[in-house]
Structure 1
Amino acid sequence: MRIAVTGSIATDHLMTFPGRFTEQLVADRLDTVSLSFLADGLDIRHGGVAANIAHGLGKLGLRPVLIGAAGRDFAAYGERLAAAGVDISAVRISATLHTARFVCTTDQDQNQIATFYAGAMTEAADIDLAAVAGRHGPFDLVLIGADDPAAMLRHTETCRDLGIPFAADPSQQLARLDRARLRRLVSGARFLFTNAYENALLRRHTGWDTTGVLERVGTWITTRGADGVSLERRDRPTLRVPAVPTTRTVDPTGVGDAFRAGFLTGLAHRRAPADAARLGCALATRVLETTGSQEYDVHLDSLVTETTVRP
């Protein structure tokens, strides 16, 4: 199965706050929030949703094509992704801008406050997916992840024009997309990925209820943290897959991206959607137990075993 992953490529700056964000919020002063949190630790890691997902696919034995924009500082990161099995030849390198930055602070309850600097990602709309597909295709699936909004729309329209199946994964860009653009991104997707909060936000922003969304997509996959994953299809019962438990939660950054990599790997190996979701949950737990979204080591056989024997 030939998979292309479009979306952000970034460097993550991950910090930890030993308290609770909620204890610092004053209910009747939320219109004038001005807060500073003294962090205990700082880890600088490789990230970006497309790079995270592509890295996971590569580690599990596939050779995904990464499609996104990065800066001139991408060379060492690119070598690392290539070593993990990712085809980076379609990455656009900006002549003037840095690779995007994700700055995130996590509190003791695993709540997060983050800021994202787009940098070179603003040039992603200049990437011609049709030309990439001509060089690397045919693609069996293109995952369209959070990216410059114009790039997301362009890639979606290209998939429709060329008849390439695509997965819609708007995630962090839900807040930036108006109703018309979000409807265009979602309609016709073979898969739609959201987390539980994004599920509600997507329904609000599109103006569609759950039935309305399911009339326009193949399978709607919603990750629900410790409550696992739900898979919904029109006129079919909802499938629920439990999370793979852990006793060692370290950092939630990149957990959703890992799920997507595991799920798509399962599909590539012709597993049923529920079984593919179990693989996704297992890989997500690996990342949850690790600082950084690409610092784990995994093999498909061990991950398959983990879905059946892990307590």
Structure 2
Amino acid sequence: MSALICGSFAFDTIMVFQDRFKNHILPDKVHILNVAFHVPDLRREFGGCAANIAFNLKLLGGDPLPMGTVGKDFAPYAHWMDQHEIPRTHVKEIEDSYTAQAFITTDQDDNQITAFHPGAMDFAHEVQVGEVQGVKIGIVSPDGRQGMIDHARQFAEAGIPFVFDPGQAMPLFSREDFQQFIEQATWICVNDYESQLLSDRTGWSPHEIAEKVEALVVTCGGEGSHIYLSGKRLEIPAARARVVRDPTGCGDAYRAGLLYGLMNGLDWEVTGRVAALMGAIKIEQHGTQNHSFTRDEFHSRYRESFGRELDLN
């Protein structure tokens, strides 16, 4: 079974400032802010929600089909995807644009200053769900506004069950937009902050939202996650991370685990734990696509974290 993963592709340029922003920003001068930070540490990572989810689903042995729009500078990313056998058949290059890019400077207090250029992501509506054959499940993850609206509608019209994952795109949508997404989606996945914002925007509590879909999944970082089903809420514990290095991309790794469980008919207790373990494995590495594991290692980590065997048969 293939999963169509709609969302962004991006280059993340990450710089580390070996000091604290507060030591160099004068509070009474922020209206004329003009600062420069010397950043000896720099990494350029492959990112974007669709690509991150696809990378993690591939690690689990799933069959991802990422779909989105990229720019004229995509060649090194394309090579990376080819190396990891992630298909690019539904990735469209926009000739006059750059691939979406985030420029992130982090200080010693883990504060971040980020500039984001959407570039080709704003053309996500130019690729369509109907162009893909043989898809049984999908996800609409953060992307260009019109692309997310179109892809949700196209999944619903095609009768393909899908996860709605608004993420950092939440500010792009109105109350009416969110209500429409919820009516169309099969499942919804948000973090705890986004869950509160979704309730505030729609006027519906998590339990009320869960009555309109098959499940509402709310991640809570190190506190685990909640899965709201009709009339009840499951408490999923966090998996044990051996070291915490970089939380960026943990949500995408969790969503890959969620898709894997749904694609393989796992129950929610197991699906939530598989997803939680994916997030824990990711947090142990810098970047969003630099981790790996074997099937045996994953089973061992599952047993270590949850005190039970993982049965995928």
Q: TM-score, normalised by structure 1?
A: 0.89
Q: How does 1:70-219 map to 2 (within 5 A)?
A: 70-108=70-108, 110=110, 112-132=112-132, 136-137=133-134, 139-219=135-215
Runs of 5+ unmatched residues, structure 2: 307-313
Deviation digits for residues 29-60 of structure 1, max 9, x if unmatched?
Answer: 8x969585845632110000010001111122
Deviation digits for residues 94-135 of structure 1, max 9, x if unmatched?
Answer: 111010002234455655443321101111111121122xxx
| Residue equivalent to 1:252 | 247
Whole-angstrom distance in 2 between the partners of 1:197 and 1:239? 18
Task: Give the superposition deviation at 1:63.
Answer: 2.1
The more displaced of 43-52 and 176-185 is 176-185
Whole-angstrom distance in 1 between the partners of 2:179 and 2:34? 35
Whole-angstrom distance in 2 between the partners of 1:35 and 1:205? 36
Task: Give the superposition deviation at 1:291.
Answer: 1.0
| Residue equivalent to 2:59 | 59
The more displaced of 211-220 and 4-13 is 211-220
State whether residues 99 and 121 of structure 1, in contact with CA within 8 Å, keep that contact through their aligned partners in structure 2: yes
Classify 1:298/1:10 alpha carbon distance in 2 versus 1 (closer, same or farther; 3 Å): same
CA-atom RMSD in angstroms: 2.6
Classify 1:144/1:241 alpha carbon distance in 2 versus 1 (closer, same or farther; 3 Å): same
Runs of 5+ unmatched residues, structure 1: none
Classify 1:271/1:25 alpha carbon distance in 2 versus 1 (closer, same or farther; 3 Å): farther
| Residue equivalent to 1:292 | 287
Letter in 1 for 2:99: T
Q: How does 1:225-264 map to 2 (within 5 A)?
A: 225-236=221-232, 238-264=233-259
Q: Secondary structure at the match of 1:3?
A: strand
Whole-angstrom distance in 2 between the partners of 1:194 and 1:109? 26
State whether residues 25 and 35 of structure 2, in contact with CA within 8 Å, keep that contact through their aligned partners in structure 1: no
State whether residues 188 and 218 of structure 1, in contact with CA within 8 Å, keep that contact through their aligned partners in structure 2: no
Classify 1:35/1:48 alpha carbon distance in 2 versus 1 (closer, same or farther; 3 Å): farther
State whether residues 6 and 145 of structure 1, in contact with CA within 8 Å, keep that contact through their aligned partners in structure 2: yes
Task: Give the superposition deviation at 1:17.
Answer: 4.6
| Residue equivalent to 1:10 | 10
Whole-angstrom distance in 1 between the partners of 2:205 and 2:36? 38
The answer to whether structure 1 residue 47 and structure 2 residue 64 are counterparts is no
Higher gyration radius (CA): 2
Letter in 2 for 1:291: H
Task: Give the superposition deviation at 1:18.
Answer: 5.3
State whether residues 68 and 121 of structure 1, in contact with CA within 8 Å, keep that contact through their aligned partners in structure 2: yes
State whether residues 110 and 252 of structure 1, in contact with CA within 8 Å, keep that contact through their aligned partners in structure 2: no
Whole-angstrom distance in 2 between the partners of 1:58 and 1:183? 32
Q: Secondary structure at the match of 1:140?
A: strand
Whole-angstrom distance in 2 between the partners of 1:81 and 1:10? 13
Letter in 1 for 2:257: G
Whole-angstrom distance in 2 between the partners of 1:109 and 1:230? 29
How high is the sequence identity, in percent, across the aligned residues?
30
Q: TM-score, normalised by structure 2?
A: 0.88
The more displaced of 242-251 and 164-173 is 242-251
Whole-angstrom distance in 2 between the partners of 1:268 and 1:184? 24
| Residue equivalent to 2:304 | 309
Which of 217, 221, 229 is matched with 2:217 structurally? 221
Classify 1:19/1:213 alpha carbon distance in 2 versus 1 (closer, same or farther; 3 Å): farther
Whole-angstrom distance in 2 between the partners of 1:199 and 1:21? 30
Letter in 1 for 2:179: R
Q: Secondary structure at the match of 2:184?
A: coil
State whether residues 61 and 85 of structure 1, in contact with CA within 8 Å, keep that contact through their aligned partners in structure 2: no
The more displaced of 295-304 and 69-78 is 295-304
Whole-angstrom distance in 2 between the partners of 1:235 and 1:23? 51
